[in-house]
Amino acid sequence: MAWAIDVKGVHKSFVLHLQGGVRIPVLQGFDLAVAPGESVALTGPSGAGKSTVLRLLYGNYAAERGRLAVLHGTAMVDVAAAAPLQILELRRWTLGYVSQFLRVIPRVPAWDVVAEPLLRRGMAEAEARRRAAAVLERLNIPRRLWTLAPMTFSGGEQQRINIARVFACDYPLLLLDEPTASLDPANRDTVVAMITEARSRGAAVVGIYHDDRVREAVADRTIFLEKTS
């Protein structure tokens, strides 16, 4: 089987240096394999390490042990062993990550925030803006907000900017951390449709969804994480 994501034997603990060096073991020998076009949901109690798995795959956290291989073009690249520049390259072309909160540079307008990853890929500005506009429209972001910085937007609007930025790019791997948490039912259904479309074009999806209906609608498989401490 050719996997899009192949995680094997991953160990991750956090050491709280400012709190007497307390060690929190989170993942101990975690495995996960996801095929192209497959969608896997991570479930389990709060603190079990679901968000940690996504952050490890995105290269935000370093694993202590194990392999986090992702399909980048035609080659498997181990995120755990990748150099920083290679991680940036993976993020440009392969890994789309919707985090729980929008992190943006102050004063950058929403339209630019969404178009920016496309421009970084070398897309012409007019085309990048057209694509960004299409996703903003689909996610019901009113036009009057497009030229404003998202710092002052509501939680649900910020989350939709986050989603728009990732889904404008057609990434082959999607890491989704509660993408529908603060959305109203209509926008939630739009995001479910976007995830379904991404899968139909072959994207592999790993997601955390606290809404059972969303999870049932988008995931083929659920992986339960136990709390280790």
Report how far Cα 146 is from the mean position of its chain's Cα atoms: 22
Closest approach of ligand ATP to the CB of residue 214, in Å: 15
Closest approach of ligand ATP to the CB of residue 158, in Å: 18
- Report the residue number, 54 or 128, with the smaller CB distance to ligand ATP: 54
Residue 126: CB partners within 8 Å, gap ≥ 6?
none
* Per-residue DSSP letter, 9: E
- 176: phi > 0 → left, psi -120 to 50 → alpha, else beta; which? beta
- Report the residue number, 50 or 129, with the smaller CB distance to ligand ATP: 50
Phi/psi of residue 34, each to 5°? -130, 130
Estimate the crossing angle of helix 110-120 against helix 125-138, to 10 degrees.
130
Closest approach of ligand ATP to the CB of residue 47, in Å: 4
- Report the residue number, 49 or 150, with the smaller CB distance to ligand ATP: 49
- Report the residue number, 98 or 114, with the smaller CB distance to ligand ATP: 98
Q: In terms of C-beta density within 10 A (0-12 exposed, 13-18 middle, 19 or more buried), how is residue 82 classed?
A: middle
- Report the residue number, 61 or 111, with the smaller CB distance to ligand ATP: 61
- Report the residue number, 12 or 72, with the smaller CB distance to ligand ATP: 12
Phi/psi of residue 134, each to 5°? -65, -40
Residues lying near ligand ATP in the complex (CB under 6 A) are found at 14, 24, 26, 44, 46-52
SS3 content of the chain, % helix, strand, coil (to 5): 40, 25, 35
* Per-residue burial over 11-37, b = 16 or more CB atoms within 10 Å of its CB, e = otherwise: ebeeeeeeeeeeeeebbbebebebbbb
Closest approach of ligand ATP to the CB of residue 114, in Å: 25
Phi/psi of residue 83, each to 5°? -75, 155
Closest approach of ligand ATP to the CB of residue 205, in Å: 17
Closest approach of ligand ATP to the CB of residue 38, in Å: 21
Closest approach of ligand ATP to the CB of residue 28, in Å: 12
- Report the residue number, 48 or 118, with the smaller CB distance to ligand ATP: 48
